[in-house]
Structure 1
Amino acid sequence: MKYILTGTSGFIGSEILTHCLSNPLITSLLILSRRPLPDIESRDPRIKVLVLDNFLSYPESTKSELSGVKAVLWTLGGSNSRPTPKGKCDEVEVQYPLALARALIEASKKPAEHVCHVVKIRFLFISGTFSVRDQKKSLWMLEEGRKARGLAETKLFELAEENSDFEAVVVKCGYVLKKDSAVPEVLVGVSRNAIRVDELAVAMVEIAVGGSGSKTFGNSELRSMGKRLLKERKER
Structure 2
Amino acid sequence: MKLIISGASGFVAKEIIRQSLSRNEITSIVALARKPVSVPEKLSPDANPSKLKSIVIDDYEHYPEEVKKEFAGAAACIWTVAITPTNAKAYDFEEVKRVCQTSTIAGLKAIHESGISKSFRFLYMSGIAAERDRAKPVQYQSEYTYMRGETESEVLQLAAELDGVEASVAKPGFITAPGYIMKSIAATALQFALGLPNIGVVDLTTTMLDQVINGFEKETLTHEDLVRIAKAHQVSGK
TM-score by length of 1: 0.82
Cα distance in 1 for partners of 2:203, 2:55 equals 27
Q: What's the CA shift for 1:25? A: 0.7
Q: Which moved more, 1:203-212 or 1:192-201?
A: 192-201
Q: Confirm or deny that 1:149 pairs with 2:154.
A: no
Q: 1:5 to 1:46 in 2, by over 3 A?
A: same
1:218 deviates by: 0.3
CA separation of 1:102 and 1:164: change in aligned 2, threshold 3 A:
same
1:45 partnered with 2:50: yes
Change (3 A) 1:29 1:204: same
Q: What SS class does the counterpart of residue 64 from structure 1 fall into? A: helix
Please state if 1:36 is matched with 2:41.
no
Deviations 1:137-195 (A, max 9, x none): 553311232122111111111112212311111001111122465989xx99xx67221
Question: Aligned partners of 1:15 and 1:232: how far apart in 2?
Answer: 21
> Kindly, what percent of the aligned residue pairs are identical?
28
Q: 1:50–1:107: structure 2 CA closer, same or farther, 3 Å change rule?
A: same
> What is residue 127 of structure 2 aligned with on the other side?
128
Asked if residue 83 in structure 1 is aligned to residue 88 in structure 2, the reply is yes
The residue type paired with residue 56 of structure 1 is E
Structure 1 residue runs without a partner (length 5+): 112-117
Contact 2:31–2:37, Cα closer than 8 Å, also in 1:
no
Q: CA deviation at 1:197?
A: 1.4
Displacement after TM superposition at 1:18 (Å): 1.5
Q: Once the 2 structures are TM-superposed, how far is the Cα of residue 95 of structure 1 from its aligned partner? A: 1.0
* Alpha-carbon separation, structure 2, partners of 1:131 and 1:225: 21
Mapping of 1:90-101 within 5 angstroms?
90-101=97-108
Match of 1:115 in 2: none
Letter paired with 2:216: S
- After superposition, the Cα gap between the structure-2 partners of 1:59 and 1:10, relative to the gap in structure 1 and judged at 3 Å, is closer
SS at match of 2:129: coil
- Note the C-alpha offset of 1:38: 4.2
Please give the alpha-carbon distance, in whole angstroms, between the structure 2 residues aligned to 1:166 and 1:122: 6
TM norm structure 2:
0.82
**Mind listing any 5+ residue stretches in structure 2 that lack a counterpart?**
41-47
Alignment size in residue pairs: 221
Take 2:38 and 2:112, find their aligned partners in 1: how far apart are those partners? 29
The reply to whether residue 58 of structure 1 matches residue 53 of structure 2 is no
Aligned to 1:45, the other structure's residue is in SS state: helix
CA distance in 2, matches of 1:21, 1:39: 9
Amino acid in structure 2 at the alignment position of 1:143: S
SS in 2 for 1:69: coil
Further displaced range: 78-87 or 43-52 = 78-87
Moved more, 2-11 or 152-161: 2-11
Cα distance change, pair 223–82 in 1 and its aligned pair in 2 (3 A): farther
Q: Output the aligned Cα RMSD.
A: 2.7
